[in-house]
Amino acid sequence: MATRHASALARTAIAPSALVLFLWMIVPLGMTIYFSLLHYSLLDPGNESFIGFLNYRYFLTDPAFFTALFNTLKLLGAVLALTVVGGILLALLLDQPFFGRGIVRLMVIAPFFVMPTVSALIWKNLLMHPVSGLFAWLAKSVGLRPIDWFAEAPLAAISLIVAWQWLPFAALILLTALQSLDQEQKEAAEMDGAPPISYFFHIVLPHLGRAITVVILIETIFLLNVFAEIRVTTGGGPGLQTTNIPFLVYAQALLQFDVGGASAGGIVAVILANIVAFFLVRMIGRNLEA
Amino acid sequence: MSGRIVLRGVSKSFGESTIIRSLDLEIEDGAFVVFVGPSGCGKSTLLRLIAGLEDASSGRIEIDGADVSHVPPAKRGLSMVFQSYALYPHMSVRGNIGFGLKMAGMPREVIRQKVEKAAQILNLSDYLDRKPRQLSGGQRQRVAIGRAIVREPKAFLFDEPLSNLDAALRVQMRLEIAQLHESLRTTMVYVTHDQVEAMTLADKIVVLNGGRIEQAGTPLELYHHPVNLFVAGFIGSPKMNFLAAEVRSVGPEGVVVALAGGQEIAVPVMPGHLTAGAKVTLGMRPEHLRPADRGELVGEVAVAERLGGETYLYLRVPEQPLLVVQTDGGNATRVRERIAVGIERETCHLFDSEGRSLPRLLRHPLADMPRPTDSPS
Amino acid sequence: MARALSLRRRSLTAVVGWAVGLLLFFPILWMVITSFKTELEAFSTPPRFLFFDWTVENFGIVQQRSDYLKFAGNSIVLSLGSTLLGLAFAIPTAWAMAFAPARRTKDVLLWMLSTKMMPPVGALIPVYLLFKDSGLLDSRVGLIGVEFLLNLPIIVWMLFTYFKEIPADILEAARMDGATLWREIVYVLTPMAVPGIASTVLLNVILAWNEAFWTLNLTTTDAAPLTVFIASYSSPEGLFWAKLSAASTMAIAPILVLGWFSQRQLVRGLTFGAVK
């Protein structure tokens, strides 16, 4: 559609963005790879030396790594489960017309727009505090022992907070997909006398398949990198119970000042993300054909 | 200033596929030329090459004597009316019509006058301050035309402008465009897939197929003297009937052919290279077949389409494809009746095994008639 | 469903809907209510929802003691700055991709989007060290640069989808009307793309405002936006819930409002077109 004149101009128009993003990709990644092969500690500056893959050995054999890995996956799994199931239910609910639906929708969407540090601190203090928090009060009113979330089930607490933040995203995406369900398909199913449950499983769910795939994929990208909520509530603890891979790397870099080791960790995180993405896309690749 | 357009050896390829093969065409100043053909034949592409919205892969394009092959659209002195009208949604009718003049740097007062004059001609004066979304389809079309007129171009380009209108509006706009050409006398290049529009509007029709010009000529020339099967089948609705036949003999009075059912017809065409035994195709337009008691073709009516003014009978004749016969609206023949249809030898067409038509011995008197409205210049 | 649902069905749905909505919204609501309590009131049990002595002192205290306005200012500068910078780069890029696509265009676009999938920890160390050595640590400029790079793919993507919705023949009509490329962009493309550009700005301001990885790691005091400001309440002395609530309310209020208007943009921008 374009003439020669426009094509040349187009290339100059794309170049700055492409260049800037290319540098943003290559430079830090390249440097991280480079650092990961060095002994480089900010506590011992000027004494950098090449040590090959030693940092990787240390990082990967460190028991902390495995804990962090499992925590990462546990967090990912829990939040995905909560948000996808919750999202479907919310989408079904919001698809029905009822009085004040618009306002309810706004209320459901709101958590996504709250900054992570606020969410985390409000949940930790106002809601989950074992003595004065609202949950504690609720438990005591029905005769249950209040849970000290951040001591007894810190990862669960974090999962809950993150799930609360991402539920609106899943709900919105799934609602959008739901509303694109052809009105005529619905009516055809009615004419065929399909009961609601069977209608849901045989028509609605397959139609949502693609949207669910997208939700899982996008959430995964972000959930592998949960950071702020952890830093602001538990600092990775107690012990390592809420340390995930990103936090582990952060701790090594900016708290222990081990640049070499942390860099190796960073690269491991990148590889991990790629592996997860690869399997995810493969597993549900069919649904994603654009 | 002349609106004469010449194309020499113009071709266009998109990557691997060639849309237009080396093509030559001359469009006279002031002529109304229609590009017509099936989907994908390249007619819109050709128009866009003339407009400058696409670059030709090879060849030359001349407008008013100047080579414009590498000149951007803005500088070719042309105006285009798009199929979807392509009005600027954020501008009023006034803004839309005057945009081109604004781009040309004309003073505001001049623009205002020209816009109002164009609006008057097109009956848009009451709508000048409305936005496109507040207009009906026909009104939007007129705005698009107004936008084109006001720049006083060397030639107008129309890309299927009537396709988005309903049938009644289409007929009305067809007349208005014809009248526009009357009054402006500017070259118009018009693309359509509708052969009725082509027949009624054109001084010259260019039939395109697969990126090649099959035939270019006056409407009646194409109707009476199509050069091949494609043009013969394209022009005229319902489509011409094609029957397989074999040459029996050739002579100075024409060619005698025999149909599958044995019927023999002497067709008044020049024999050319044909010899006895050659396979040919006999073409007969539905309007040239008439029910006749002792007609050569006998068959059973499969479908009868009654339009009121005329009736189309679809005939199942043994060993032949379904024949279409046009009859008067008062014809009472019913489905499953057997009737006989007579062949008029003077209106038959004959095509050789490669689809080329054999030239008629007599040229139809109207085929070369210029449109009565053409100026004798 | 074309038929009217029974009143009972609709009432039931309404009850469930409102219950669910209030439940999910409750933390935010509770936070806002708490910001109007005294510290003592905020920490005491049983918690009171409506009938307590409402006060606005916390808002004042937060500003006085920790200079809320400075952090808010930083958030504003960060969000707007990175988004406008992003627009400057992205508008030509998206224009080129939408109207003059080459064979590789789709690939380049997908690659740009893929840069958002890189775990930030992979770049944390070099960026931190580079910033440290060049004095960009805790600087507004440095932070704007990083946020700009983070959001550029999304801005390009969103503008691309909006530009693609502009019918090509309107731009061609402008060309036939004598507009040069520049005038085509100024007089026709941009006015038609304004709603799309506004939506993109909206979403990206929100994303930049809430970003909590780089803001936490690259700033301390001077350039710190509200995300960092709130984080400072993670280990304060004494009673702080009411102040935390007040600070949080102020921090999220503008974004909550913007967010309510940007639901559709959210879907478009963050699902990369896979969901319509």
Q: What residues contact residue C69 under an 8 Å CB cut-off, 6+ apart?
A: C63
- Chain A CB contacts of C231 under 8 Å are 117, 121, 228, 231-232
Does C177 contact B51 at a Cβ distance shorter than 8 Å?
A: no
CB burial readout A107-138, b (16+ within 10 A) else e: bbbbbbbbbbbbbbbbbbbbbbbbebbbbbbe
Q: How far is A170 from chain C (nearest CA, A)?
A: 10
Does B51 contact C176 at a Cβ distance shorter than 8 Å?
A: yes
Domain boundary among B189, B212, B232: B232
Average pLDDT on B138-152 reads 91
For residue C227, what is the nearest residue in chain A, using CA coordinates?
Answer: A117
- Chain B CB contacts of A7 under 8 Å are none
**pLDDT tens, position by position, C175-218:** 899 888 888 888 998 899 888 898 889 889 988 999 999 999 99
pLDDT for C62: 82
pLDDT for C168: 86
Q: How far is B218 from chain A (nearest CA, A)?
A: 32
The per-residue DSSP string of chain A comes to ---HHHHHHHHHHHHHHHHHHHHHHHHHHHHHHHHHTEE-BTTSTT--EE-TTHHHHHHHHSHHHHHHHHHHHHHHHHHHHHHHHHHHHHHHHHHS--TTHHHHHHHHHGGGGS-HHHHHHIIIIIIT-TTTSHHHHHHHHTTPPPP-HHHH-HHHHHHHHHHHHHHHHHHHHHHHHHHTS-HHHHHHHHHTT--HHHHIIIIIHHHHHHHHHHHHHHHHHHHTT--HHHHHHTTT-STTTT--HHHHHHIIIIIS-BHHHHHHHHHHHHHHHHHHHHHHHHHTGGGG--
pLDDT for C180: 84
- Residue C188 near chain B (CB below 8 Å): yes
**pLDDT tens, position by position, A78-129:** 999 999 999 999 998 888 888 888 888 889 988 999 999 999 999 988 888 8
**pLDDT tens, position by position, A102-116:** 888 889 988 999 999
pLDDT for B219: 93
Within a domain: residue B368? Answer: no
How many domains in chain B? Answer: 2
Does C176 contact B79 at a Cβ distance shorter than 8 Å?
A: yes
Model confidence band, residue B231 (pLDDT cutoffs 50, 70, 90): very high
pLDDT for B207: 95
Which domain covers residue B342, as residue numbers?
238-351
Model confidence band, residue A5 (pLDDT cutoffs 50, 70, 90): low
Average pLDDT on C3-14 reads 76
- Chain B CB contacts of A4 under 8 Å are 55
* Residue B254, pLDDT above cutoff 70: yes
C-beta separation of A135 from A152 below 8 A: no
Are residues B165 and B26 both part of a single domain? Answer: yes
- Chain C CB contacts of A131 under 8 Å are 45
Within a domain: residue B373? Answer: no
Mean of the per-residue pLDDT values of chain C? 85
Are residues B171 and B263 both part of a single domain? Answer: no
Q: How far is A270 from chain C (nearest CA, A)?
A: 6
Rounded Cα–Cα distance for residues A51 and B313 (Å)? 92
Neighbours of B373 (CB within 10 A): 11
Q: How far is B304 from chain C (nearest CA, A)?
A: 41
Give percent of chain A above pLDDT 70: 94
- Chain C CB contacts of A187 under 8 Å are 2
- Residue C93 near chain A (CB below 8 Å): yes
CATH code for the domain in which residue B20 is found? 3.40.50.300
Name all domains of chain C by residue range, CATH numbers in brackets.
69-225+253-270 (1.10.3720.10)
pLDDT for C12: 86
Task: Compute the C-alpha angle A34/A36/A38, nearest 5°.
Answer: 80
Domain boundary among B183, B207, B232: B232
Are residues B254 and B294 both part of a single domain? Answer: yes
Does A211 contact C275 at a Cβ distance shorter than 8 Å?
A: yes
* Residue C273, pLDDT above cutoff 80: no
Model confidence band, residue A51 (pLDDT cutoffs 50, 70, 90): confident
Length of chain A equals: 290
pLDDT for C53: 80
Within a domain: residue B256? Answer: yes
Does C167 contact B84 at a Cβ distance shorter than 8 Å?
A: yes
Of A17, A134, A210, the CB nearest to C274: A210
Neighbours of C169 (CB within 10 A): 18
The CATH number of the domain covering residues in A63-288: 1.10.3720.10
Does C176 contact B78 at a Cβ distance shorter than 8 Å?
A: yes
Are residues B75 and B219 both part of a single domain? Answer: yes
Average pLDDT on B296-317 reads 90
- Chain A CB contacts of C101 under 8 Å are 1-2
Within a domain: residue B126? Answer: yes
Q: How far is A19 from chain B (nearest CA, A)?
A: 27
Within a domain: residue B65? Answer: yes
Are residues B211 and B287 both part of a single domain? Answer: no
Does B54 contact A3 at a Cβ distance shorter than 8 Å?
A: yes
Within a domain: residue B376? Answer: no
Q: How far is A241 from chain C (nearest CA, A)?
A: 18
Whether this prediction's pTM lies above 0.95 is answered by: no
pLDDT for B147: 92
Which chains touch B (3+ CB pairs under 8 A)? Answer: A, C
Average pLDDT on A57-70 reads 87
pLDDT for C21: 93
Within a domain: residue B372? Answer: no
Q: How far is A177 from chain B (nearest CA, A)?
A: 29
Task: Compute the C-alpha angle B53/B56/B60, nearest 5°.
Answer: 115
Model confidence band, residue A3 (pLDDT cutoffs 50, 70, 90): low
For residue B149, what is the nearest residue in chain C, using CA coordinates?
Answer: C177
Q: How far is C198 from chain B (nearest CA, A)?
A: 16
Of B74, B90, B147, the CB nearest to C192: B90
- Chain C CB contacts of B73 under 8 Å are 172, 175-176
Within a domain: residue B85? Answer: yes
Model confidence band, residue C274 (pLDDT cutoffs 50, 70, 90): low
pLDDT for C2: 44
Q: Look at C224 and C42; give whichever has higher pLDDT.
A: C224
Model confidence band, residue A289 (pLDDT cutoffs 50, 70, 90): very low
**Of A101, A93, A77, A81, the residue nearest A200 (C-alpha):** A93
pLDDT for A6: 67
**pLDDT tens, position by position, B88-134:** 999 999 999 999 999 888 999 999 999 999 998 888 989 899 999 99
Does B99 contact C169 at a Cβ distance shorter than 8 Å?
A: no
- Residue A101 near chain C (CB below 8 Å): yes
For residue B54, what is the nearest residue in chain A, using CA coordinates?
Answer: A3
Q: Which residue of A1, A3, A9 to mutate against B (max B Cβ within 10 Å)? A: A3
pLDDT for C135: 87
Of C1, C45, C230, the CB nearest to A121: C230
Are residues B216 and B246 both part of a single domain? Answer: no
Q: How far is A9 from chain B (nearest CA, A)?
A: 14
- Chain A CB contacts of B53 under 8 Å are 1, 3
Domain boundary among B232, B258, B289: B232
pLDDT for B6: 93
**pLDDT tens, position by position, C69-87:** 889 999 999 999 999 999 9
Does B55 contact A4 at a Cβ distance shorter than 8 Å?
A: yes
Average pLDDT on A223-249 reads 88
Does B88 contact C174 at a Cβ distance shorter than 8 Å?
A: yes
Q: Which of A12-16, A160-164, A265-269, C6-10 has the lowest mean pLDDT?
A: C6-10
Are residues B264 and B150 both part of a single domain? Answer: no
**pLDDT tens, position by position, C137-187:** 888 899 999 999 999 999 998 899 888 888 888 989 998 998 888 888 889
- Chain B CB contacts of C183 under 8 Å are 103
Provide the 3-class DSSP secondary structure of residue C254.
Answer: helix
Of C124, C212, C271, the CB nearest to A250: C124
Does A176 contact C241 at a Cβ distance shorter than 8 Å?
A: no
pLDDT for A179: 83
pLDDT for C3: 54
C-beta separation of C125 from A30 below 8 A: no
Are residues B208 and B303 both part of a single domain? Answer: no
- Chain A CB contacts of B47 under 8 Å are none
pLDDT for A57: 84
ipTM for the whole complex: 0.84
- Chain A CB contacts of C213 under 8 Å are 225, 227-228
Q: How many CB pairs under 8 A join B and C?
A: 59
